[in-house]
Amino acid sequence: MSVGAIVLAAGRGTRMRSDKAKVLQVAAGRTLLEWVLEAVSPLDADEVSVVVGFDAEEVTAVLPDGAVAVVQDPQNGTGHAALVGLGGISKTHDTVVVVPGDMPLIRAESLGALVAERQRSEAAATVLTVELENPYGYGRIVRSGGAVTAIVEERDGTQEERMICEVNTSVYAFDGGLLADALARIANDNDQGEYYLTDVIGILVRDGHSVSALLTDEEEGFGVNSQAQLAEASAVLRSRINAELLDSGVWMLDPTRVYIDADVTVAPGAKIYPDTYLTGDTTVAAGACVGPSVQAHDSTIGEDATVVNAVLSGAVVGANASVGPFAYLRPGAVLAAGAKAGTYVEIKNSEVGEGSKVPHLSYIGDTTIGKRANIGAGTITVNYDGYDKHRTIIGDRAKIGSDTMLVAPVTIGDDASTGAGSVITQDVPDGALGVERAVQKNIPDYAERRRTRANEESD
């Protein structure tokens, strides 16, 4: 049996009050359209066409291989959109599934069940429906003796029809040939002057074909039309992601306060504390302990590593490494196994070698630190001369004294040290101590002399 799929994604979504097309709004790390296409994917459709219009170029850019964009201009309603979508499909399929691009909660299982139900019921169309306590605004499913006879829009319905609580989700499985035939015959003589896909149902029934309905979970029929609904959909997607992770053996103190995007990987045995945001292409390994209060974007957190109160972006934290509290790891920060980036430490484009520690109040940029080195509190790599960035190299087992300024380019050798408070502008050889500091002078009885002077002045 051949299957085609049409995703309706041409509308602007005016009620979002956003410059971006509605289907490009992001929930849990994916656009609404990507969530829908993800649900369509297991159908293994021979052809998928996506009807684009508003922001056509940007919408087309998020399509996966195998999905074809077809432009609908102007946007004359869902029926017109389906017709345009059919134009992107090369042949007549036994089943054509139609899904709106703004329903991110739709599940692959329901689309599969819909296709199976159409086959089982030998219907010309099967409509995915939900029952709503408040059906206001939705197309109502009109039945006669159990069989579906029409879908009537809110604005076109009679008083009696508006009492119906079973509504159209706008997800359908059609007989491909019959859909094409009916779409060619829909009119726009309705309240909005648009071509309604829902009118196809009435046409099929009048032609003597049967139409069935598959009732599903209210949640899945949820369409996003406003920012409030986007937030609601995001919360559901997040809780699905977290539920799956919990199932797999990830520990979370409070899953309602953990925000994990769709493409993040968290290994079983990892521990996640509240107010943690794992976004983009982030990976957390087994035994790692992340949070509270961590934002990690496009970052890798290794086995048994600890990250607390930190912001990571494009960073790599090795196994058993420790980050925070209050650390900022920027792109290219790579901590090897057992390394430490402690309190008020910022690291950028730098490797911190195995077991090396940057415990307090440091900026490390464009630097390579060897193994088991210790960077004293307040050390700064002075990597920028106002024109160019330069590198600092720190050898294995080096000991950088507190408050050292390492003016790059500069190399500190293996087992070398620097004196606290030094401004190091020259290389320090292996095993040497680099000191750059004025000799201390003590002025005796200073306090006493000050007091005397102050008394004289006030007399």
Query: In the complex, what is the shortest distance from the CB of residue 175 to ligand UD1, in angstroms, rounded to a whole number?
Result: 18
Q: Which is nearer to ligand UD1, 51 or 358 (CB)?
A: 51
Joined together, the tokens standing for residue 45 give 């459709």
Torsion of CA 115, 233, 51, 136, to 10 degrees: 80
| Binds ligand UD1 by CB under 6 A, chosen from 78, 234, 300, 313 | 78
| Binds ligand UD1 by CB under 6 A, chosen from 8, 375, 380, 382 | 8
Partner whose footprint covers residue 196, from Ca ion, ligand UD1, none (CB < 5 to 8 Å by kind): ligand UD1
Binders in 101-130 for ligand UD1, by CB under 6 A? 101-102
CA distance 124 to 178: 7
Q: Which is nearer to ligand UD1, 15 or 437 (CB)?
A: 15
Query: In the complex, what is the shortest distance from the CB of residue 176 to Ca ion, in angstroms, rounded to a whole number?
Result: 24
Query: In the complex, what is the shortest distance from the CB of residue 80 to ligand UD1, in angstroms, rounded to a whole number?
Result: 5
Partner whose footprint covers residue 397, from Ca ion, ligand UD1, none (CB < 5 to 8 Å by kind): none
- Number of helices (H), then strands (E), belonging to the chain: the values are 8, 39
Judged by CB under 6 A, the number of residues near ligand UD1 is: 27
Percent of residues in the chain assigned helix, strand, coil, to nearest 5: 25, 35, 45
Q: In sequence order, what are the residues at sequence separation of 6 or more whose Cβ sits closer than 8 angstroms to the Cβ of residue 228?
A: none
Should residue 75 be labelled a site residue for ligand UD1 when binding is judged by CB under 6 A?
yes
Do 179 and 81 meet the contact criterion of CB atoms below 8 Å apart?
A: no
Judged by CB under 5 A, the number of residues near Ca ion is: 1
Q: Which is nearer to ligand UD1, 170 or 306 (CB)?
A: 170
Q: In sequence order, what are the residues at sequence separation of 6 or more whose Cβ sits closer than 8 angstroms to the Cβ of residue 20?
A: 55, 58
Query: In the complex, what is the shortest distance from the CB of residue 361 to Ca ion, in angstroms, rounded to a whole number?
Result: 53
Query: In the complex, what is the shortest distance from the CB of residue 378 to Ca ion, in angstroms, rounded to a whole number?
Result: 57
Query: In the complex, what is the shortest distance from the CB of residue 105 to ligand UD1, in angstroms, rounded to a whole number?
Result: 12
Should residue 223 be labelled a site residue for Ca ion when binding is judged by CB under 5 A?
yes
Strand 276-279 to 258-260 pairing: parallel
Should residue 242 be labelled a site residue for ligand UD1 when binding is judged by CB under 6 A?
no
Query: In the complex, what is the shortest distance from the CB of residue 78 to Ca ion, in angstroms, rounded to a whole number?
Result: 9
Residues 66, 72, 78, 80: is their CA dihedral positive or negative? Answer: negative
Partner whose footprint covers residue 282, from ligand UD1, Ca ion, none (CB < 5 to 8 Å by kind): none
Q: Which is nearer to Ca ion, 223 or 324 (CB)?
A: 223
Should residue 342 be labelled a site residue for Ca ion when binding is judged by CB under 5 A?
no
Partner whose footprint covers residue 234, from ligand UD1, Ca ion, none (CB < 5 to 8 Å by kind): none
Partner whose footprint covers residue 129, from Ca ion, ligand UD1, none (CB < 5 to 8 Å by kind): none
Element (H, E) at 334: strand 333-335
| Binds ligand UD1 by CB under 6 A, chosen from 3, 6, 11, 212 | 11
Should residue 81 be labelled a site residue for ligand UD1 when binding is judged by CB under 6 A?
yes
292-312 as b/e, with b when 16 or more CB fall inside 10 Å? bbbbbbebbbbbbbbbbbbbb
Query: In the complex, what is the shortest distance from the CB of residue 286 to Ca ion, in angstroms, rounded to a whole number?
Result: 42
Give the DSSP per-residue string, 349-416. Answer: SEEE-TT-EEEEEEEEESEEE-TT-EE-TT-EEE-B-SS-B--EEE-TT-EEPTT-EEESSEEE-TT-
6-41 as b/e, with b when 16 or more CB fall inside 10 Å? bbbbbbbbeebeeebbbbbbebbbbbbbbbbbbbbb
Binders in 200-229 for ligand UD1, by CB under 6 A? 223
Partner whose footprint covers residue 198, from ligand UD1, Ca ion, none (CB < 5 to 8 Å by kind): ligand UD1
* CA-wise closest residue to 127 among 75, 162, 84, 179: 179
Binders in 153-192 for ligand UD1, by CB under 6 A? 153, 167-170
Should residue 196 be labelled a site residue for ligand UD1 when binding is judged by CB under 6 A?
yes
Should residue 198 be labelled a site residue for ligand UD1 when binding is judged by CB under 6 A?
yes
Minimal CB distance to ligand UD1: which residue?
139
Do 131 and 39 meet the contact criterion of CB atoms below 8 Å apart?
A: no
Do 237 and 105 meet the contact criterion of CB atoms below 8 Å apart?
A: yes
Determine how many CB atoms are found less than 10 A away from the CB of residue 450.
10
CA distance 236 to 241: 9
| Binding segment toward ligand UD1, per CB under 6 A, in 76-84, 116-124, 201-209, 441-449 | 76-84
Joined together, the tokens standing for residue 149 give 């006879």
Residues in the chain: 459
Do 261 and 240 meet the contact criterion of CB atoms below 8 Å apart?
A: no
> Which of the residues are catalytic?
360
Residues that bind Ca ion (CB under 5 A): 223
Residues that bind ligand UD1 (CB under 6 A): 8-11, 51, 72, 75-78, 80-81, 100-102, 138-139, 151, 153, 167-170, 196-198, 223
